[in-house]
Amino acid sequence: MAPKRPSASPAGGDTPKRARKTYTLEQALTAANLFKCMDLLAQSMKILEENYPNIERSTAVISGVMEKITCYEVLLKEKQQKKKHLVMVATVVVMVVVVVVVVVLVMMILMVVVVVVVRGRP
């Protein structure tokens, strides 16, 4: 029986393949990651536009890239709107809790006043 050969890596070496980390869509594409990616793409397109001598080619590349990333721009806007909505909901919840605490404190103060009035001043 012949000995087993080590598995070859894509680069042609004999190193074993590294385990790939798996992400859900929400983990991998956070709003911050997506914003950074979109910003880097915009910067790259600006560099290409300003420095590449073939205007027709650079314009075609830039419009092609911008067309392809539209879905990610939509996703980023959705994530930003969701974040704003969650912040608004959290703010409303905090305000309701504050109102409830104030009402409870006022009721406790009124109860103390009633007890003092009913018993008379000591």
In this structure, is residue 52 part of a structural domain? yes
What's the total number of domains in the chain? Answer: 1
Helix-, strand-, coil-residue percentages of the chain, each rounded to 5? 75, 0, 25
Range of the domain at 75: 31-94
* pLDDT at residue 42 in the model: 93
In this structure, is residue 108 part of a structural domain? no
CA distance 68 to 105: 58
> By C-alpha distance, which of 53, 76, 57, 75 is closest to 65?
57
Q: Which tens digits make up the pLDDT trace of 59-100?
A: 999 999 999 999 999 999 999 999 999 999 999 999 999 999
Q: Is 47 left (phi over 0), alpha (psi -120 to 50) or beta?
A: alpha
3-state secondary structure 52-66: CCCHHHHHHHHHHHH
Q: Which tens digits make up the pLDDT trace of 34-66?
A: 999 999 999 999 999 999 899 999 999 999 999
pLDDT-based confidence at 122, cuts 50/70/90?
A: low
In this structure, is residue 105 part of a structural domain? no
